[in-house]
Copies of this chain bind each other. A is one copy, B any other.
Amino acid sequence: MTERTVYFVSDQTGVTVETLGHSLLTQFDGIQFNSITVPFIDNIDKAYEVSKRIDREMEHAGVRPIVFTSFVEETIREPLLKSKGLILDFFEAFLGPLESELQMHSSHTQGKAHGMVDMKTYDARIEATNFAMDADDGRSIQNYDRADVILTGVSRSGKTPTCLYLALQYGIFAANYPLTEDDLESGRLPETLLPYRKKLYGLTIAPDRLRQIRLERRPVGRYATAQQVSFELRSAERLYKKLGMFFIDTTHFSIEEIASTILNETGVERRVGP
């Protein structure tokens, strides 16, 4: 398999440029990309250092490194452009068209996207994360009036990571209520939950996949048996349908996709983000 070295260079954390670069590179099969993230390159001296590092890699590998960059300050980008790497800069590609459309110059201010933290955004994410932690695993039902959405499902169907992702990414208040044996057997939710019926969103998952996840967590007892898993999932799905709830089969989805689908279907408004 061919190998290529890829650099993600940014004057900030590099998270944005990694996300973008990664989604492009997944379009190329059969190449092993070795990724190196170089964050916080916020002055010209550091940029020259990275440029030299790229040139050394070029000599070593005999093939051009691919370099994804996002520099707000054009002057910091200069040394990179002089390097032997293929420079793909995200700001350069789109700021021009945006400037003409908006008929103004961009502020070219370093650190705007993540940095120089917008305290309100930070607080909203932290508050949402605290909420998700406090309302994990069926705790804090008394706080459900503050919830934007309440994820429900059987044990290990993906509720907790999805709630945390919704909190960290979007500042959304997401609680999670695990369906109990009682709920599943009676086909009813507890009285205390009924006022929040419209906030409920169900998760389900393929039985084989759930068994596999549960076996890793707790291999003994009834918990991971085929019979138990299939009883729980069947009962959960029946309950969702009876209550007319939205629900998603998480088996083939990433956490991002589950979260996006929930927002898309419920219309819950994100509290932070674009």
Q: How far is the CA of A267 from the CA of B25 in the complex (A)?
A: 23
Kindly list chain B residues whose C-beta atoms are within 8 Å of the C-beta of A122.
254-255
Instruction: State whether B125 touches A6 (Cβ < 8 A).
Output: no
Kindly list chain B residues whose C-beta atoms are within 8 Å of the C-beta of A88.
94, 97-98
Q: 8 Å CB contacts to B: which residues of A93-129? A: 93-95, 97-98, 101-102, 104, 106-109, 112-117, 121-123, 125-126, 129
Kindly list chain B residues whose C-beta atoms are within 8 Å of the C-beta of A121.
254
Contact with B along A236-253 (1 / 0, CB 8 A): 000000000000000011
Q: How far is the CA of A261 from the CA of B42 in the complex (A)?
A: 14
The stretch from A7-15, A178-186, A187-195, A219-227 touching chain B is A7-15
Q: 8 Å CB contacts to B: which residues of A40-58? A: 40
So how many copies of this chain end up in the complex? 2
Instruction: State whether A125 touches B161 (Cβ < 8 A).
Output: yes
Q: How far is the CA of A158 from the CA of B127 in the complex (A)?
A: 11
Partner among B24, B98, B169, B253 whose Cβ is within 8 Å of the Cβ of A24 = B98
Partner among B18, B20, B72 whose Cβ is within 8 Å of the Cβ of A90 = B20
Instruction: State whether A106 touches B27 (Cβ < 8 A).
Output: yes
20 contacts between A and B (CB under 8 A): A13-B254, A13-B260, A21-B274, A23-B70, A23-B114, A24-B95, A27-B95, A27-B108, A28-B102, A28-B106, A30-B104, A37-B274, A39-B261, A88-B97, A88-B98, A114-B257, A122-B255, A126-B213, A164-B164, A168-B255
A62 contacts chain B at the CB level, 8 A cutoff: no
Kindly list chain B residues whose C-beta atoms are within 8 Å of the C-beta of A13.
254, 256-257, 259-261
